[in-house]
């Protein structure tokens, strides 16, 4: 289980009390949905979990292991952003390699894994292309393929599908759900689409003014 316990943060060192205060739980194989208005603190929370920001207090525990003690490169975390997930000057293959092999070194084993996932995601013919030769949806699909191959136990999604057409978005959500369950990941999905949560979230929280409030997923429909 992933447990975020009373994580606090403020962008301004002198402000008290800390404006951001987060707690949540995700079981293995679960997707947690986070809904909230722009500026409510969703990205800040993901940045704290990933290690881009350092909290003032609180804990992040994965199966009782404290993650805050780990430097950013050792955290068992993959994060996907709304854009700029890929290196523009590197091929699809190299972009994925950098995520899964030290120094991006290619071996028969990595090549086979990459071929398999690109096949599964309908991207097989794009292996040697640069990201600029792909559509926005295809680029996010490559980033998702890399995230899924990394198999880090915590997958953070910071609205990565929000710029995509609905059909592509729903396909991506379905992939996230399948892989989260199959690989036993703990996925935290920030989204502004209530529908995303209805479709794949096992738990839903609403972010309001830097605090998370658990929300009954069944009630989303009525409030939407
Ligand atoms: P969300 O992802 O929900 O839109 P953010 O976590 O990006 O919200 O931002 C929450 C609040 O923190 C916003 O009011 C924003 O202005 C502020 N904030 C975000 N990043 C910084 C920063 N680097 N320095 C100062 N304030 C920031
Ligand atoms: Mg954000």
What CATH number has the domain bearing residue 45? 3.40.50.300
With a 6 Å cutoff on the Cβ, whether 208 touches ligand 1 is: no
Shortest-distance ligand to the CA of residue 37: 1
- Quick check: helix, strand or coil at residue 46? helix
Q: For ligand 1, atom 6, which residue shows the shortest CA distance?
A: 41
Q: Using alpha carbons only, how large is the chain's radius of gyration in Å?
A: 18
Q: Is residue 162 one of the residues assigned to a domain?
A: no
What pLDDT sits at residue 102? Answer: 77
What pLDDT sits at residue 92? Answer: 97
pLDDT tens sequence across 53-102: 999 999 999 998 999 999 998 999 999 998 889 999 999 999 999 999 87
Q: For residue 96, give the H/E element and its range.
A: helix 92-100
pLDDT tens sequence across 102-145: 788 899 999 999 999 999 888 999 999 999 999 999 999 999 99
Determine the residue of 43, 191, 210 to mutate for testing ligand 1's pocket, defined as the one with the most ligand atoms within 8 A of the Cβ atom.
Answer: 43
With a 6 Å cutoff on the Cβ, whether 15 touches ligand 1 is: no
Q: Is residue 209 one of the residues assigned to a domain?
A: yes
Q: Is residue 170 one of the residues assigned to a domain?
A: no
Range 101-134 burial, b when 16+ CB lie within 10 A, else e: beebeeeeebeebbeebbeebebeebbeebbeeb
With a 6 Å cutoff on the Cβ, whether 44 touches ligand 1 is: yes
Q: Is residue 2 one of the residues assigned to a domain?
A: yes
Ligand 1 closest atom vs CA 38: 4
Domain count, the chain: 1
Q: Is residue 55 one of the residues assigned to a domain?
A: yes
* Torsion angles phi and psi, residue 142, rounded to 5: -65, -45
Q: Is residue 108 one of the residues assigned to a domain?
A: no
What pLDDT sits at residue 221? Answer: 67
Q: Is residue 155 one of the residues assigned to a domain?
A: no
Q: Is residue 158 one of the residues assigned to a domain?
A: no
With a 6 Å cutoff on the Cβ, whether 210 touches ligand 1 is: no
Residue 17 domain boundaries: 1-70+188-224
Mean pLDDT within 148-166: 92
Mean pLDDT within 18-34: 94
CA distance linking residue 26 with residue 74, whole number of Å:
20
β-pairing, 154-158 vs 186-190, is parallel
Ligand 1 closest atom vs CA 207: 3
């Amino acid at each position: 289980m992933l447990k975020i316990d009373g994580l606090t943060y403020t962008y301004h060192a002198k402000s008290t009390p800390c404006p951001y205060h987060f707690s949540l739980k995700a079981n293995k194989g679960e997707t947690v949905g986070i809904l909230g208005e722009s500026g409510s603190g969703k990205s800040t929370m993901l940045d704290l979990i990933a290690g881009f920001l350092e909290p003032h207090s609180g804990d992040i525990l994965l199966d009782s292991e404290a993650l805050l003690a780990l430097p950013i490169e050792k955290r068992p975390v993959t994060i996907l952003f709304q854009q700029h997930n890929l290196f523009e000057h590197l091929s699809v293959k190299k972009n994925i390699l950098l995520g899964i092999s030290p120094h991006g070194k290619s071996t028969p084993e990595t090549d086979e894994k990459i071929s398999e996932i690109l096949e599964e995601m309908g991207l097989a013919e794009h292996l040697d292309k640069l990201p600029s030769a792909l559509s926005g949806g295809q680029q996010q699909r490559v980033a998702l393929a890399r995230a899924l191959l990394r198999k880090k136990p915590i997958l953070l999604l910071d609205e990565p599908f929000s710029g995509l057409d609905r059909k592509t978005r729903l396909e991506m959500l379905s992939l996230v759900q399948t892989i989260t369950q199959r690989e036993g990941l703990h996925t935290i999905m920030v989204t502004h689409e209530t529908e995303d949560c209805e479709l794949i979230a096992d738990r839903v929280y609403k972010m309001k003014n830097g605090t998370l409030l658990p929300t009954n997923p069944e009630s989303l429909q009525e409030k939407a």
